[in-house]
Structure 1
Amino acid sequence: MIKFSDVKKVYSDGTEAVNDFSLTINNGELMTLIGPSGCGKTTSMKMINRLIKPTAGTIYLNDTNVEDYNIHELRWNIGYVLQKIALFPHMTIEENIAVVPEMKKWKRKTIRNRSHELLDMVGLDPSIYSQRRPSELSGGEQQRIGVIRALAADPDIILMDEPFSALDPISREQLQHDIMQLQKEIRKTICFVTHDMDEALALGDRVCLMKEGRIIQVDPPQELILNPASEFVKEFIGERKSPWQTAVDVIADQTKSQIITKSAYAHNKYPNQGTFIIKDHDNTFAGMVADGQNQEKCIVLENDLPLSKAIDIMQDKNQQLYPVLKSEQLVGTLTYKDIVTYLKRETASKDGVIR
């Protein structure tokens, strides 16, 4: 867990970069920091691994003041991914990944196994890529190496400073997808700085929106979109996000009217007509039943799936109701009608005309 408590940073020229900054990033959470240029998001992140020292306030890692850690041990246990990856050009990819594990005196065989495991994890065949040099890789491939190099020593915390901003749109979207899939597997605590609102909303479990060194709103993406705390938040989100790119959990039905418990299903305590999602006692998705018949091959939607891709999945299917899941947890349900209603509302002009 990362905790900022009343943190302030004023530079020697009097520039107030961060002020009254209090924020908790929970274990296993991906927090995106976003805001206008100069709002203090990168400064805030760099104070976590003591690249920048706060003027006032305290930052804690797992309830210990970061100032109480040995600086080298602190940084060895925090992965760091930059916009400019800065892979060592004279080293092979495997050697680049091995830098921190070697500093921590891991055994050579353990390092090699870890390097190959990580390459596999991001879809780069170790037999092809481990002995290549950085110059032999594309920009997107180099960025993947930067990400897994940060993961090599299995740190609990990863800091990512606009890591994809220099990439072309296709590579960037692919890497965003990779990070989301990777995070589902590894569940690291990640602080991710970005200037792209779509990226912040797509990746973040929560989004921290900043302005002039202060936090304006911290909320899950759907809450930020549906309930902006101020006119600034509303304007900053603005028209950047096409309705078709909205994640399905933003409009997933939360009424629970078509959700039943596993116990109710087992004891036949639900209507015989209609479609219902079955959940376990801990809100884990447990299946679906339609008109009394168990739907063993029902299609589920991941919570961060954009509507455009959800429609592709739902098209020409007979399924009436789609469970929306986040890490196997049920966050709501979705129908074609929900999507149409949302799109009509979002594409209507102020005079009510659909444009």
Structure 2
Amino acid sequence: MIEFRDVKKTYPDGTKALSDFSLQINEGELVTLIGPSGCGKTTTMKMINRLIEPTAGTIYISGTDINDYNIHELRWNIGYVLQQIALFPHMTIEENIAVVPEMKKWKRKEIRERSEELLDMVGLDPSTYMHRRPSELSGGEQQRVGVIRALAADPDIILMDEPFSALDPISREQLQYDIKKLHQEIRKTIVFVTHDIDEALALGDKVCLMKEGRVIQVDTPQQLVLNPETKFVKDFIGERKSPWQTAIDVIAGEAESCVITKAAYDEGNYPTQGTFIIKDKDDKFVSALVNGQQVDDFTVFKNDIPLYKAVDELQKSHQQVYPVLKNDRFVGTLTYRDIISYLRRETAAKDGVIQ
């Protein structure tokens, strides 16, 4: 979807912002750019919509050199969310959302429907918020509007430049959750710049760690934490290799002994005691079976949530077994026994004890 190929950027004063920078961002991915101040992450982002031009190298979107696009059409197809929310203060929220759709000559009815849909999507009641002005919203509400304004014209790509850094911790964490959930629903290609490693790990399908204008490691959050490729990566991640930060797909057991196929269930071939997971022939989770009774409102976990969040949910529930799903497919189960075994192994490894 977006490809940087041997890109360099040297400013007139001689500052080298990027050196031989290459990065592949696939369609529908949320990629976070992280690194020390001055590493080139914001420069990288601004090159995508040609706010900054490279000194050398090429950037492609959908296989086409970005210089071959009409610059206005290129930017209309790229949403942009800044730390400074930059809503127009004299306009209503509806009018703010409508800016780009109106430039693209959408019909009034289409714009209104799109505005209502997006406000609903981020938990802002359209009947309450459509006619308010930015000054009547909290910082978190304004930033939500900033996000959906970037989505209003249905662009293929969203650029987010430290959008939550000015917010208080509670608003920031809630917006991180909202963006993660929103991305799972809309599957836009999102490039997200942040200086906060915890935010980068929480949001990214992939994390690109940069230093002095170069890519040091691009990986999933789990792999970046568990398998840093250099001392710089290890030092930058720091103590986040805590076992509580580990994604649960590393911990989950295979647990075939507690899995039943849907075909077997339909034939009545299943135990009447204990907890079992029902999956179909494509490994998709169907439901659970508890003491012979099918249970549809069963708590399930996505594969990439960290252990500490899973434990929070476990404490609220009385389930014995928790299915772990990746893209709706069953990949394993999580139990208290799995967690205890994992924590024992991790503690023993840090203490130099062989298990």
User: Taking structure 2 as the reference length, what is the TM-score of the superposition?
Assistant: 0.89
**In the TM superposition, what whole-angstrom CA distance separates every residue of 1:52-102 from its partner, at most 9, and x where no partner exists?**
111111111111111101111100000000111111111111111000000
The residue type equivalent to 1:200 in the other structure is A
Shift of residue 139, structure 1, vs aligned partner: 0.5
Count of residues in correspondence between the two structures: 353
Query: In the aligned structure 2, how far is the partner of 1:81 from the partner of 1:149?
Result: 8
Query: In the aligned structure 2, how far is the partner of 1:50 from the partner of 1:66?
Result: 8
Query: In the aligned structure 2, how far is the partner of 1:218 from the partner of 1:332?
Result: 26
Q: Which residue of 2 aligns with 1:55?
A: 55
Matches of residues 58-73 of structure 1 in structure 2 within 5 Å? 58-73=58-73
Q: Which residue of 1 aligns with 2:198?
A: 198
> Given the alignment of the two structures, is residue 42 of structure 1 paired with residue 42 of structure 2, yes or no?
yes
Query: In the aligned structure 1, how far is the partner of 2:259 from the partner of 2:12?
Result: 58
- Conserved? CA contact 1:33–1:207, under 8 Å: yes
Query: In the aligned structure 2, how far is the partner of 1:170 from the partner of 1:54?
Result: 38
The residue type equivalent to 2:29 in the other structure is E
Judged with a 3 Å threshold, the aligned counterparts in structure 2 of structure 1 residues 118 and 22 are, in CA distance, closer, same or farther, namely same
Q: Which residue of 2 aligns with 1:212?
A: 212
Shift of residue 31, structure 1, vs aligned partner: 0.7
Judged with a 3 Å threshold, the aligned counterparts in structure 2 of structure 1 residues 51 and 345 are, in CA distance, closer, same or farther, namely farther
Query: In the aligned structure 1, how far is the partner of 2:331 from the partner of 2:159?
Result: 28
- Conserved? CA contact 1:222–1:249, under 8 Å: no
**In the TM superposition, what whole-angstrom CA distance separates every residue of 1:25-55 from its partner, at most 9, and x where no partner exists?**
1111111111111111111111110011111
Moved more, 96-105 or 215-224: 215-224
Judged with a 3 Å threshold, the aligned counterparts in structure 2 of structure 1 residues 51 and 280 are, in CA distance, closer, same or farther, namely farther
For the residue of structure 2 that corresponds to 1:286, the secondary structure is strand
Shift of residue 297, structure 1, vs aligned partner: 4.2
Matches of residues 158-307 of structure 1 in structure 2 within 5 Å? 158-240=158-240, 243-253=243-253, 277-289=277-289, 295-307=295-307
Q: Which residue of 2 aligns with 1:323?
A: 323
Shift of residue 241, structure 1, vs aligned partner: 6.5
- Conserved? CA contact 2:226–2:241, under 8 Å: no
Shift of residue 251, structure 1, vs aligned partner: 2.8
Q: Which residue of 1 aligns with 2:100?
A: 100
**In the TM superposition, what whole-angstrom CA distance separates every residue of 1:191-241 from its partner, at most 9, and x where no partner exists?**
111111111111111111111111111111111111111111111111246
Judged with a 3 Å threshold, the aligned counterparts in structure 2 of structure 1 residues 79 and 5 are, in CA distance, closer, same or farther, namely same
User: Taking structure 1 as the reference length, what is the TM-score of the superposition?
Assistant: 0.89
Query: In the aligned structure 1, how far is the partner of 2:274 from the partner of 2:129?
Result: 52
The residue type equivalent to 1:195 in the other structure is H
Moved more, 67-76 or 321-330: 321-330
Moved more, 315-324 or 201-210: 315-324
- Conserved? CA contact 1:7–1:22, under 8 Å: yes
Judged with a 3 Å threshold, the aligned counterparts in structure 2 of structure 1 residues 116 and 297 are, in CA distance, closer, same or farther, namely closer
Q: Which residue of 2 aligns with 1:139?
A: 139
For the residue of structure 1 that corresponds to 2:95, the secondary structure is helix
For the residue of structure 2 that corresponds to 1:207, the secondary structure is strand
Q: Which residue of 1 aligns with 2:30?
A: 30
Shift of residue 104, structure 1, vs aligned partner: 0.2
**In the TM superposition, what whole-angstrom CA distance separates every residue of 1:248-307 from its partner, at most 9, and x where no partner exists?**
334334687766665676689999997654444544323345687755443211234343
- Conserved? CA contact 2:4–2:22, under 8 Å: yes
- Conserved? CA contact 1:21–1:214, under 8 Å: yes
Q: Which residue of 1 aligns with 2:117?
A: 117
- Conserved? CA contact 1:184–1:327, under 8 Å: no
- Conserved? CA contact 1:34–1:208, under 8 Å: yes
- Conserved? CA contact 1:202–1:304, under 8 Å: no
RMSD: 2.7
Query: In the aligned structure 1, how far is the partner of 2:246 from the partner of 2:175?
Result: 18
- Conserved? CA contact 2:251–2:338, under 8 Å: yes
Shift of residue 340, structure 1, vs aligned partner: 2.5
Shift of residue 20, structure 1, vs aligned partner: 1.7
Moved more, 178-187 or 255-264: 255-264
Shift of residue 144, structure 1, vs aligned partner: 0.2
Query: In the aligned structure 2, how far is the partner of 1:241 from the partner of 1:136?
Result: 41
> Given the alignment of the two structures, is residue 9 of structure 1 paired with residue 24 of structure 2, yes or no?
no
Judged with a 3 Å threshold, the aligned counterparts in structure 2 of structure 1 residues 232 and 260 are, in CA distance, closer, same or farther, namely farther
Moved more, 257-266 or 235-244: 257-266
Shift of residue 343, structure 1, vs aligned partner: 3.7
- Conserved? CA contact 2:9–2:18, under 8 Å: yes
**In the TM superposition, what whole-angstrom CA distance separates every residue of 1:312-331 from its partner, at most 9, and x where no partner exists?**
32237453321122331334
For the residue of structure 1 that corresponds to 2:67, the secondary structure is helix
Query: In the aligned structure 1, how far is the partner of 2:62 from the partner of 2:292?
Result: 49
> Given the alignment of the two structures, is residue 85 of structure 1 paired with residue 85 of structure 2, yes or no?
yes
The residue type equivalent to 1:187 in the other structure is R
The residue type equivalent to 1:158 in the other structure is I
The residue type equivalent to 1:302 in the other structure is K
